[in-house]
Amino acid sequence: MRPPLPGPAQLNHVLEQAYSSWTFNAFALDEASRGRPLSVLSYFLLHRLGLIKTLGLKPIKVARFLQALESSYMDNPYHCRIHAADVLQTFHVIITRGGFTHAYVDPIRHLACIIAAAAHDVEHEGEPRPPTVWGRAKPQLRVARGLHAACSQAPMPCGGATRRVDE
């Protein structure tokens, strides 16, 4: 007999823990979100922090953007969507519980930081660093500088400024 699928109560519990606690289990979020830990956590944080409303973002476009971003993560043992969700949650707790949001981070910068944390390993092939031959990285294995940022540079889903996430 298969165990029951996680329900909304389990997902809510994990998200609340992610929002306010240093104690967080990214694997539990992966299970509770049915394999979508990064997009679910990202959207939850943006909503709970009031950034969607404050910045006038369109919720459906934000959700599509985050799902596309999450889908850009490769399935490898470490640099994957679960790891990205873990990094995002750690960043969130440091920035909010450390008091940075009130003193240093306005809403647009907070959004940028959340996207940066979520996108930090997009399309990472899984190698901890590129293998080298005679001191030079093999071109097919090189992770280009700025790739992660470039992959997350689809227009932000605000107002009419976006086109790629409209479908």
CB 122 within 8 A of CB 42: no
CB contact burial 86-114 (16+ within 10 A = b; e otherwise): bbbbebbbebbeeeebeeeeeeeebbebb
Q: How far apart are CA 29 and CA 14, in angstroms?
A: 6
Residue 53 one-letter amino acid = K
Residue 102 is a catalytic residue: no
Backbone angles phi, psi at 157, to 5 degrees: -80, 65
Measured at the CA of 81, the angle between CA 115 and CA 66, to 5 degrees, comes to 40
Catalytic, out of 47, 79, 92, 120: 79
Catalytic residue numbers? 79
